[in-house]
Amino acid sequence: MNNFIFENATKTYFGKSCVKEYLASLVRPYGDNIMLAYGGGSIRKNGIYDEVIGILKSLGKNVIEFSGIMPNPTYAKVLEGAALAKESHADLILGVGGGSVMDCCKAISIAAVYDGDVWDDFWASAGVFDFEPLPLGVIVTAAGTGSEMNGGAVITNEELKIKTGRDYPKCNPKFALLDPAYTYSVPARQMVSGGFDTLSHIMEIYFSEPDEDNVSDDISEALMKNTIRNLRGAIKNPQDDTARSNLMWDAAMAENRIIKLGKKTDFECHQMEHQLGAYTNCNHGEGLSVLHPVYYRHIYRNGLTKFARFAVNVWNIPCEGKSEEELAAAGVEALEDFIREIGLPTTLRELGVTEDTDLKAIADSCSLAPGSYKKMSHEEIYEILKECF
């Protein structure tokens, strides 16, 4: 394995009624002003808002609400939240939602206390902290991104048509509350796309060097199998507590940095989807479902051993009578079959992308991830996007 340093500062509380049991004690040490951040208002319909606001009010906290955080959160929304946090002298941000809410809140935690240009200094390039971001706690209502246990935040600059992410350990939430029951009301489409986002994260870590025996790859295989099995279970029965619990922890495990240890990682597919999203605002998990099989057909011959292992250990494809290349190709086909099985799109047309969409501009705007088995170029990414269309 490669050398690594591991850090994760988020204290995580998992399980039924964890919000009711722990939230009061977690927010009590902070000041009186709590900025409650959430998305489009679904938490007001499913009872989560009432439970959270009741706990905060019982402590005598002054709650400042910041709502309307959208999927693919924008830099403009970050600045809006930062202005509110400054104006209200917020002592803690409490983000309640899925990955978009959590990502936006992390960026707000920087912008609320930083006087410079947050985009230029922390998203366009890696930033340096000589200050402490505003403290953040999160309550997860949708599983998928794993944002609850890292400092990562993906933000879209609409003016520049750039969607990019950074992972700053200082932006790790101070605490994260994960009650699987909070995910029950998530629409089926969102649940499935979130589950595939989890699978995508694991695959993009797994399909990278080193290829010799290592702990991270073994854990990744177990997580991929668990995600696949429980996504099927949750589709069959959305109220299956075992399936929803496993999916919630799969998401956290995929992005709490543990399986990245000693790995190069390859997030080229995410880079492509980020720019696809910046230009089209497509659903993140659905964008990934279209891109992954096509991307992997472009690179699997450069990582035959790992792709063949994926076929055997994750999809249980018999290896007898098959060459390593045949196994590797069969693993990619099994992935695409699974995508169809769970009802996710397999073409850009299904995402609403039209012939007027400038695929060349999207390809040229993509960052080139250094961890890919095959050195990518903007020309090949353009070919991938055309094949996906």
The per-residue pLDDT for range 289-346, each reduced to its tens digit, is: 999 999 999 999 999 999 999 999 999 999 999 999 999 999 999 999 999 999 999 9
Read off the pLDDT of residues 75-130 as tens digits, 9 standing for 90 and up. Answer: 999 999 999 999 999 999 999 999 999 999 999 999 999 999 999 999 999 999 99
Q: Any idea what the Cα angle at residue 202 is, between residues 247 and 218, rounded to 5°?
A: 100
Q: CA–CA separation, 272 vs 277, rounded Å?
A: 9
Residues 6+ apart with CB under 8 A from 207: 266, 296, 299, 303, 306, 307, 310, 373
Read off the pLDDT of residues 340-373 as tens digits, 9 standing for 90 and up. Answer: 999 999 999 999 999 999 999 999 999 998 999 9
Cβ atoms of 266 and 57 closer than 8 Å = no
Q: Any idea what the Cα angle at residue 27 is, between residues 81 and 149, rounded to 5°?
A: 70
Alpha-carbon separation of residue 352 from 68, 279, 341 (angstroms): 24, 12, 20
Identify the bridge partners of residue 139 per DSSP, sorted by sequence position: 96, 177
Using CB atoms within 10 A of its CB, is residue 320 exposed (0-12), middle (13-18) or buried (19+)? exposed
pLDDT of 55 strictly over 80: yes
| Superfamily name with CATH number, domain 188-251+262-388 | Dehydroquinate synthase-like - alpha domain (1.20.1090.10)
Q: What share of the chain is helix, strand, coil (3-state, %, to 5)?
A: 55, 10, 35
Same fold, 11-183 and 188-251+262-388: no
Tokens encoding 188: 């089926």
CB atoms within 10 A of CB 113: 14
pLDDT of 16 strictly over 90: yes
Longest C-alpha distance within the chain, in Å?
69
Strands (E), the chain: 11-14, 33-37, 62-66, 92-97, 136-140, 152-157, 162-167, 175-178
Q: CA–CA separation, 11 vs 150, rounded Å?
A: 11
Tokens encoding 332: 């990619």
Cβ atoms of 165 and 265 closer than 8 Å = no
Q: CA–CA separation, 197 vs 254, rounded Å?
A: 10
Tokens encoding 122: 């922390």
Residues 6+ apart with CB under 8 A from 318: 312
Residues 136-148, buried b or exposed e (16+ Cβ, 10 A)? Answer: bbbbbbbbbbbbb
DSSP class of residue 74 equals B
- In the chain, where are the structural domains located? 11-183, 188-251+262-388
The CATH T-level fold of domain 11-183 is Rossmann fold (3.40.50)
pLDDT of 39 strictly over 90: yes
Cβ atoms of 173 and 279 closer than 8 Å = no
Strand pairing category for 11-14 and 92-97: unpaired
Q: CA–CA separation, 101 vs 81, rounded Å?
A: 11
Residues 6+ apart with CB under 8 A from 218: none
The average confidence (pLDDT) of the chain is 96
* pLDDT at res. 4: 85
Assessment of whether the complete model's pTM goes beyond 0.85: yes
Question: Per-residue confidence at 41, pLDDT binned at 50, 70, 90?
Answer: confident
Residue whose pair of structure tokens reads 């990562």 in the numeric block:
152
